[in-house]
Structure 1
Amino acid sequence: MKVLSLIFPIISYVNCAKILAVIPTPSISHQLPFIPLWRELSLRGHQVTLMTTDPLKDSSLTNLTEIDMSYGYEIYDRHNSFSILSDETKSLSEIGRLLLKAGHDLIEAQMTSMEVQNLIHDKNVHFDLAIIEAKLPFYSAFAWRFRCPMVSVTSMEAPIWIQYAIGNEVHPILNPDSNLHIMDQMKLNFWERIISFLYTILLKYKVYGDILQTENARFKKYFGEDAPDLLEVQNNISLLLSYANPVFQNTRPMNPNSILIGHGMHIAKPKKLPKDLQEYLDSSKNGVIYFSLGSNVKGHLLNDTIKRNILQAFSELPYNVLMKMDTDLKDVPKNVKIQKWLPQQDVLRHPNIKLFISQGGLQSLQESITNGIPLVGIPFFGDQISNVYRMVKKGYGVRVDKNEITKENFKQAILEVLNNPRYREKAKEMGELLHDEPMTSLEKAVWWIEYVIRHKGAKHLRSPAVDMPAWKYYMLDVIGSVLGALFIVLFLSYKILKCVISKLLFGKPKAKKD
């Protein structure tokens, strides 16, 4: 045992790797799914350097070094990013343009920070792997700087430019973009098919034509004039870890270097509730309605009339209400308890929770069905809209339009879900589907990350589609050749047939007299 106790640390040291993780988005929903991953990798002996907007600051994780980029939240607030996202008066192109401006300011702030500059220019620093959030192409520059394999991660379904980069099929009808307001993403009508088709083409043109040129200039600015084209760097992704799941998204054909880890990896072990919350939930004999619009949907996105309608609906219900709200509310009913922050996962575990009123964020839906809690969805932006539409189709909740909330329709939606047991039964069924997997998503993610480290990449899993031009991938030359050959055959057949018919009908033509 003494000998083994000496050998195992040596083996662990030999197998451990230096990992750089870059999750630059100032949104806890982008950070939360991967917190268990950073913990597990560091506990397994890997030395992890994490660039994040939400540092853990856990002194027990001695192998985890964090670069704090929390200033990104102030930049997003300055640009009113989440208000822009939920503004239905703006077109998708206008929203995209405004968000890109916020994104560019965010990158500039991150790249000019002292910690990031020291990391880039320290020639003694090396990494065996870079784990990069699947966001703008620019961030793949870190993998090029340290000449190491890249794993791309995403807290939702990967955007289409990452699907292209990994060689997965991009089909605008079978897999429409989650930002499109499509009611049934499995059965698009004719108009929706046109919109999705054009949107996919225009988005690809925007990313590869416009955005990539801007990002290339920034790449050379911060990483040197010898930096290659970013598209070439991005297309060298070894592995994609996607927080998607067929329970919430359409299935899609995927290459073996695309791994789904969307089985609720962020769901933590139960913890004790604060004493006041525990007493409130325990004493609510009729049950409790839990209301939370997540971390990105702030209270100011609901106008005063809608807030008043919501509270009036609550006042007429025989249930207590636990409400997460970051703004002050007037005329709060006696059966409503408001707090600015709540431990959502542990609240949803309490047996007296009867209903979850949510914005429809992916992680909130996962937490809800894990505990068999049905929902009322009030989507605001992004994938929330498609998530809630799918929730309604699956049958474990109902949808209420955020701009059309009245006391009557809000109350009716709540009572529909609470009084009809099929919603709770369906929520339990979805939860069973979500967690029925041969190994946990965390185990799967760690195994594949270490697989890439062991083999110094995963080029053998790379699809040949990544290097093909569009005309070859879609076989336009083959189709054109076949159609051309078919046209020639038909044309010659027509001429021969015409000649034969002419001779049969009219015989040999008489010679003209002199």
Structure 2
Amino acid sequence: MLVSWSVLLSVAVLCDAASILVVIPFRGYSHTVGPLKIANALSGKGHNVTVASFFPPKSDGSGKVTHLSLKHESIDSSNFFPIPDKGLSTVEIVFDLHNERNVYAPVIENEAFKALQNGKFDLVILEYFVSDVFFGLVHKIGAPFILIHTTVPYPWQNELLAEPQCESYVAHSLNIGVGTKMNFYKRFVNFVGLNSILAVYQFVFAKEDQFTAEEHFGPLPNLRHIGREASMFFVNTHHSMSVPKPMSPATVEIGGIHIDPPKPLNQDLKTLLDESRGAIFFSFGSVMKGSTLPKDKKDAIMKVFAELDEVVLWKWEDEFADKPANVHTSKWFAQRDVLAHPKMSLYIGHCGALGLQEAVHEAVPTICLPFFADQYVNAEFLVESGMGLYLDFQKMNEEDFRETVRQVLQDPSFKKNALRISKAFLDRPMSPMDTAIYWTEYVLRHEGAPHLKSPARYLSWVEYHNVDVIAALLLIVSSVFYFSLKIAKSFIKCLLSARKSKEKVS
């Protein structure tokens, strides 16, 4: 801590107050938490910060951050994703994610948002998720910009910034059931899936984004060309929770940035947990509405919970009739604080990045029910690390759920592995927030830090993968082989001709 604070103190002296815009255009609350915390921290360092998001807080605690609301009557920014009957395929995931771009038109037409285009800012921080549309705003402002993403980087994000995809041993973030130990078939699936996603994004989605952006921002350069000029990319990941892989210095891991020190629980909840034999927390996070759980799944889960000695805290947004005595529901729980309670024995969720990081932070064994996006990759990590298990929601029945819950509760290896992963997750030279602030101010001090941008960003697909070089080598080798055969053929022909002539003379 002494080292990190001394570093930040020296940075504070070297970096004058800057005008910073933070744009969070996605309507999921979990995507707002990290960027908003960075905004508040930057404000605390003396910078003038403006935040545009769907979730402007009633108060940021300081009054120093200017908040603009992106809410519109035509956009549902509540818990908007019902629980599906089955997990989504990779194709469904990609198209569902990109359909989010359909809500951006009323956001861009917002008068307060329009005013931002003519604002004077020294730096823009853009939450970059499923669309390139807001690169148009970045271009209009003309300031250096940092991209931030709340989960594992998606293929189109890595491709934009020329981050190695490493598809031979790293499952792309929207893959399902591949894991890290890939045989030929899994490598084949991973390779084809990754490049199919990139092709669809480049030839379909990027063109749609270009049209949408120019419709609202006016004529623009290629949005992908704008985006590749990002000074830095903050990703909410940590190497302890993924496969080791190469990253450029312009991509910085800030995994766990949303995690604050735990706050005291309200007295009733604290007493309930203190006096319990153990506790289970069950939640599908802020994006999916838990109470849309299909009745057959709800009944199966409830029967299993009723058999347990542990207290169960279940995030449920509606009325819940006939609850077992040990099950306690609420529309909202302070998840981070609940998971920090020493009696917490098990976390059950959808394997969203934020919730899983909180479980890792507190070394709580976890069961995942993944549905979409990076949740499958997160679930694979969970199993391979040995700190939990995951279930296929579509196929899951009462007995599957019962056996999985009992296995994780009764086998001490899950807790042991959770403690091991947690120790690695927490062992860092600087906190996630200190890291984000340092590199944000680094970009300000170095006028966009162009020296951190990989030259690979400016290569075509053919150049990046050396397809032209390989083709040239194949041409050279085949030419040498061809002419060698021709020469050999001519030589043999001459020998045969000479022999025939000799035989005639004889």
Same fold (TM over 0.5): yes
Q: What SS does structure 2 have at the residue aligned with 1:247?
A: helix
1:155 corresponds to 2:150: yes
Q: What SS does structure 2 have at the residue aligned with 1:34?
A: helix
Q: Tell me how far apart the structure 2 counterparts of residues 161 and 504 of structure 1 sit (CA, whole Å).
A: 61
Q: Tell me how far apart the structure 2 counterparts of residues 462 and 502 of structure 1 sit (CA, whole Å).
A: 59
Query: What CA deviation, in whole Å up to 9, does each residue of 1:148-184 have, x standing for no partner?
Result: 0010100112222222222212233333322221241
**Deviation of residue 45 (structure 1)?**
0.7
Is this contact kept in 1: 2:71–2:77, CA < 8 A?
Answer: no
1:220 corresponds to 2:211: no
Query: What CA deviation, in whole Å up to 9, does each residue of 1:220-249 have, x standing for no partner?
Result: 232233x32212211111111111222222
**Deviation of residue 26 (structure 1)?**
1.2
Aligned with 1:435 (options 423, 426, 442): 426
Is this contact kept in 1: 2:152–2:374, CA < 8 A?
Answer: no
Q: Tell me how far apart the structure 2 counterparts of residues 18 and 111 of structure 1 sit (CA, whole Å).
A: 21
Is this contact kept in 2: 1:297–1:380, CA < 8 A?
Answer: no
Q: Which moved more, 1:134-143 or 1:483-492?
A: 483-492
1:484 corresponds to 2:482: no
Is this contact kept in 2: 1:179–1:386, CA < 8 A?
Answer: yes
Q: Tell me how far apart the structure 2 counterparts of residues 369 and 273 of structure 1 sit (CA, whole Å).
A: 20
Q: Which moved more, 1:195-204 or 1:133-142?
A: 195-204
Distance 1:90 1:167, change over 3 A: closer
**Deviation of residue 194 (structure 1)?**
2.8
1:201 corresponds to 2:195: yes
Q: Residue in 1 aligned with 2:247?
A: 254
Q: Tell me how far apart the structure 1 counterparts of residues 73 and 281 of structure 2 sit (CA, whole Å).
A: 30
Q: What SS does structure 1 have at the residue aligned with 2:68?
A: strand
Query: What CA deviation, in whole Å up to 9, does each residue of 1:386-415 have, x standing for no partner?
Result: 211220111001122222333322222111
Q: Residue in 1 aligned with 2:70?
A: 69
Query: What CA deviation, in whole Å up to 9, does each residue of 1:316-360 have, x standing for no partner?
Result: 112221211113333211111111111111111211111111211
Distance 1:423 1:72, change over 3 A: farther
Q: Tell me how far apart the structure 2 counterparts of residues 13 and 46 of structure 1 sit (CA, whole Å).
A: 13
Give the letter aligned to residue 402 of structure 1.
F
Query: What CA deviation, in whole Å up to 9, does each residue of 1:171-227 have, x standing for no partner?
Result: 33333322221241x1233333333222222222222222222222232232233x3
Aligned with 1:100 (options 98, 120, 140): 98
Give the letter aligned to residue 260 of structure 1.
E
Aligned with 1:401 (options 383, 392, 396): 392
Q: Which moved more, 1:191-200 or 1:497-506?
A: 497-506
Instruction: Tell me the matched-pair count.
Output: 493
Q: Residue in 2 aligned with 1:271?
A: 263
Distance 1:417 1:72, change over 3 A: farther
Q: Residue in 1 aligned with 2:52?
A: 51
Query: What CA deviation, in whole Å up to 9, does each residue of 1:80-126 have, x standing for no partner?
Result: 96348x4648654455445434x233111101112112323xx4x30
Give the letter aligned to residue 226 of structure 2.
V
Q: Which moved more, 1:482-491 or 1:417-426?
A: 482-491
Please give the residue correspondences for 1:113-152 in structure 2 after superposition, counting only pairs within 5 Å.
113-120=110-117, 123=118, 125-135=119-129, 136-152=131-147
Is this contact kept in 2: 1:26–1:72, CA < 8 A?
Answer: no
Q: Tell me how far apart the structure 1 counterparts of residues 30 and 73 of structure 2 sit (CA, whole Å).
A: 14
Aligned with 1:234 (options 227, 233, 244): 227
**Structure 1 unaligned spans of 5+:** 1-7
Q: Tell me how far apart the structure 1 counterparts of residues 346 and 287 of structure 2 sit (CA, whole Å).
A: 21
Aligned with 1:111 (options 108, 121, 127): 108
Is this contact kept in 1: 2:136–2:213, CA < 8 A?
Answer: yes
Give the letter aligned to residue 146 of structure 1.
I
Distance 1:132 1:465, change over 3 A: same
Q: Tell me how far apart the structure 2 counterparts of residues 341 and 234 of structure 1 sit (CA, whole Å).
A: 37
Q: Tell me how far apart the structure 1 counterparts of residues 366 and 64 of structure 2 sit (CA, whole Å).
A: 40
Give the letter aligned to residue 327 of structure 2.
V
**Deviation of residue 13 (structure 1)?**
11
Q: What SS does structure 2 have at the residue aligned with 1:203?
A: helix
Please give the residue correspondences for 1:388-427 in structure 2 after superposition, counting only pairs within 5 Å.
388-427=379-418
Q: Residue in 2 aligned with 1:5?
A: none
Aligned with 1:384 (options 358, 367, 375): 375
Q: Tell me how far apart the structure 2 counterparts of residues 312 and 380 of structure 1 sit (CA, whole Å).
A: 22
Is this contact kept in 1: 2:54–2:77, CA < 8 A?
Answer: no
Distance 1:72 1:344, change over 3 A: farther
Is this contact kept in 2: 1:355–1:418, CA < 8 A?
Answer: yes
Give the letter aligned to residue 193 of structure 2.
Y
Query: What CA deviation, in whole Å up to 9, does each residue of 1:42-101 have, x standing for no partner?
Result: 100111111112222325323211111244894367xx96348x4648654455445434
Q: Tell me how far apart the structure 1 counterparts of residues 191 and 232 of structure 2 sit (CA, whole Å).
A: 27
1:362 corresponds to 2:353: yes
**Deviation of residue 365 (structure 1)?**
1.4
Q: Tell me how far apart the structure 2 counterparts of residues 339 and 64 of structure 1 sit (CA, whole Å).
A: 31
Is this contact kept in 2: 1:75–1:105, CA < 8 A?
Answer: no
Q: Residue in 1 aligned with 2:3?
A: none
1:464 corresponds to 2:426: no
Is this contact kept in 2: 1:35–1:266, CA < 8 A?
Answer: no
Query: RMSD value over aligned CA atoms?
Result: 2.5
Give the letter aligned to residue 395 of structure 1.
G
Is this contact kept in 2: 1:165–1:237, CA < 8 A?
Answer: no
**Structure 2 unaligned spans of 5+:** 1-8
1:327 corresponds to 2:306: no
Q: Tell me how far apart the structure 2 counterparts of residues 380 and 212 of structure 1 sit (CA, whole Å).
A: 25
Q: What SS does structure 2 have at the residue aligned with 1:231?
A: helix
Q: What SS does structure 1 have at the residue aligned with 2:319?
A: coil
Q: Residue in 2 aligned with 1:171?
A: 166
1:82 corresponds to 2:81: yes
**Deviation of residue 282 (structure 1)?**
1.5
Q: Tell me how far apart the structure 2 counterparts of residues 240 and 485 of structure 1 sit (CA, whole Å).
A: 40
> Which TM-score applies when normalising by structure 2?
0.90
Is this contact kept in 2: 1:19–1:48, CA < 8 A?
Answer: yes
Q: Residue in 2 aligned with 1:23?
A: 24
Q: Residue in 2 aligned with 1:245?
A: 238
Q: What SS does structure 1 have at the residue aligned with 2:239?
A: coil
Distance 1:182 1:417, change over 3 A: same
**Deviation of residue 505 (structure 1)?**
6.8
Query: What CA deviation, in whole Å up to 9, does each residue of 1:245-284 have, x standing for no partner?
Result: 222222322111111111x111112211112111111221
Q: Tell me how far apart the structure 2 counterparts of residues 258 and 94 of structure 1 sit (CA, whole Å).
A: 28
